[in-house]
Structure 1
Amino acid sequence: MQLIELCTKDNLIIDAGALFTGIDQQVNKNVRVYIWDGKVQSIEKQAVNSRVEKPVGGMKNRRVIPANNMTVVPGLLDCHVHLALDGVSSPSPHRSVLRGRIRQKLASDLAYGIVAVRDGGDRDDIGLVCRDKVNNMELKGPVVMASGNAVRKKGEYGSFLGAGTTPKELAKTMKKLLMKNINQVKVLVSGIVSFKEYGRVGKIQFSLQELEQIVKIAGEHGLKVMAHASSD
């Protein structure tokens, strides 16, 4: 896989040997992709190795990327990650170790064509820090959509994702969370599936009314809700 750094201000023409858009299952052969104003404006069939004869859409300062021997695909999205967790250590390793792992993880994501990730939260707001560092170009990586702390009920599963709340404190917890400029709300609806007893799942943490309250508050601020739900 080859990574090419682009700027949204670039006027681009990509000559693709093959193009998969993801809109359907079809792979288009020998096409020319025109990009300006940060968007794909048109896709046209081209003869192999044909020349770009004239500017399109005012593309005077265009950049032509020869990818005639390559397959061009849209960037990939990873819809559920936890940048603060390594899947092995519990609790999370020391921050200096974690920083190195996250830097490596984000760089690896880009190398494999992942252009955006949705972080499912952590108790220390590490996902939010990563998002801001990527946005400020202090870290090289995909776009990070961060949840901050997960909303969970005190005493139930998920202490590594958030401090926990009670039904009476729910509105206050949501208000505090929204002040962190999160990209979506993460709520723990249930516990986890047992790895020792088949069919056993952690109990439901919030009532339907409480979940509706969370979704309503999030919606009032233009946010969607990401849910952990291992139960029925």
Structure 2
Amino acid sequence: MDTLVSARRVLLGPPGELIDDGAVLVRDGVVADVGPRAEVAARAPHAVAGYSCPGGTVLPGLIDAHVHLVLDAGPDPVATLAATDDTALVRDMAERAVRLLDTGVTTVRDLGDRNHLAVRLRGEIAAGRLPGPRILTAGSPVTAPGGHCWFLGGEARGAEAIRETVRRNVEHGVDVVKVMATGGGLTRGGPAIWQAQFTEEELRLVVEEAGRAGLPVAAHAHGTPGIAAAVAAGVATVEHCTWMGPGGFDVREDLVAEIAARGIAVCPAAGPGWRGFARRFGAERAEEMFTRMRRMHERGVRLLTGTDAGVGHAVFDDFVSSLEFFEHIGFSPAEIVVLATHGTAQALGIGHDTGRLRPGCRADLVAVDGDPLTDLQALRAVRLVLQGGRPHLVGAASRR
């Protein structure tokens, strides 16, 4: 069955490309036609399922480039994970995936799960047996013994163990390889958040082994030495990139320039509660961190939208609050919409089939009330989501 979605405006994805009183025709999971509503409707089959959002906007589906579906976003997600068996965990992950879809997120990058359960869920969603966003999964992150997120099963020491951990993920069918270049706040008793876990040579092994399978590498890196090693090793993305050191922040401007020159993307992974940084670190220090991200963008570093959903208090159903981080550092609503769709898709290497509304692209789209180009809060009023062409009704989109 074909599907016709119409709205007051249709955003095609790239900056400035929109159609007033537009429509999108979906067939077999892909965009078949897009243009002025009257013209697309005239070309559509007679027996088409129609959805109308007359005062609203249709735009490409939103992309969350950093989630952890195995974690529950509670006060102690690691303890909850340890107490949950795989059968219950898959059920919980599926419920979290629906919450993401409800907010208009049609693609997520899951950057760390247990026993490759996200691969299993990815297959269920892709087959249409469960609702949810398209999942790009990393499996078990490569980490040092007792290192950050060791409990996800990716501990490795030495060259052969590192390669074997990457190979195991590849054999399970992951889409990206994750490595914990530094410690992290989620892991009690592990290395300090700024402390490097691997040498540059070891990170190169990760990149080389992933490269043999044609996969990119995402590096969790808070501390400057870990950031430097990850960049030198040739990772595709740096997650967090907070430039921490043992005595405070340690920004290297030469390294910022290298990140930009190499085309490495940075995901701040600012969760919905990002304003809480000021409570934890102090207002001045938090603002310094935010300003640094803006300056990196100004120097040509590509940024990604991501929420770190699943870690403590980073919920799965408040994507817009995470996007407000970019508004805080100076992005306009229109720039944020592009970043959360076309921009992040391009940076993740999936821009050929999603992040835009063009004939032949995946039918990943969302219909919202209002105009998100002028008011980001319009993205909270999600009425209809199509993921791979499958309709998911959220609010009051009218069907005709």
TM-score bracket for this pair, using the shorter chain length: 0.7 to 0.9
Is 1:72 equivalent to 2:63 in the alignment? no
1:177 aligned to which of 166, 169, 176: 169
Is 1:55 equivalent to 2:46 in the alignment? no
1:90 aligned to which of 68, 74, 78: 78
Q: Within 5 Å, which residues of 2 pair with 1:36-185? A: 36=27, 38-40=29-31, 42-45=33-36, 50=38, 54-55=42-43, 62-88=48-74, 89-91=77-79, 92=81, 93-95=83-85, 97-168=88-159, 169-185=161-177
Counterpart Cα distance in 2 of 1:194 and 1:52: 50
State the SS of the aligned residue for 1:24: coil
Contact 1:122/1:160, CA 8 A, preserved across alignment: no
RMSD of Structure 2 on Structure 1 (CA): 2.9
Cα separation, partners in 2 of 1:209 and 1:129, compared to 1, 3 Å: same
Letter in 1 for 2:84: H
1:227 aligned to which of 212, 219, 223: 219
State the SS of the aligned residue for 2:152: coil
Cα separation, partners in 2 of 1:74 and 1:51, compared to 1, 3 Å: closer
Corresponding pairs, count: 214
Is the deviation greater in 204-213 or in 28-37?
A: 28-37
Counterpart Cα distance in 1 of 2:41 and 2:184: 59
Counterpart Cα distance in 2 of 1:12 and 1:136: 19
Is 1:208 equivalent to 2:200 in the alignment? yes
Contact 1:123/1:150, CA 8 A, preserved across alignment: no
Contact 1:17/1:69, CA 8 A, preserved across alignment: yes
Q: CA deviation at 1:29?
A: 2.4
Q: CA deviation at 1:175?
A: 2.1
Q: CA deviation at 1:13?
A: 3.7
Higher alpha-carbon Rg: 1
Q: CA deviation at 1:120?
A: 0.9
Counterpart Cα distance in 2 of 1:132 and 1:28: 34
Larger RCO: 1 or 2 (CA < 8 Å, sep 6+)? 2
Counterpart Cα distance in 1 of 2:141 and 2:186: 21
1:31 aligned to which of 19, 22, 43: 22
Return the structure number with greater helix share: 2
Letter in 2 for 1:73: L
Is the deviation greater in 214-223 or in 89-98?
A: 89-98
Counterpart Cα distance in 1 of 2:41 and 2:73: 52
Structure 1, unaligned runs of 5 or more? 1-9
Contact 2:61/2:105, CA 8 A, preserved across alignment: yes
Letter in 1 for 2:43: P
Letter in 2 for 1:84: V
TM-score (normalizing by structure 1): 0.77
Q: CA deviation at 1:77?
A: 1.4
Q: CA deviation at 1:16?
A: 1.9
Q: Deviations over 1:146-172 (max 9, x none)?
A: 111111121322212324111232222
Q: Deviations over 1:195-231 (max 9, x none)?
A: 9xxxx63411111111112111111211111211111
Q: Deviations over 1:19-65 (max 9, x none)?
A: 2233115654212334456443554335xxx4767437xx6765544
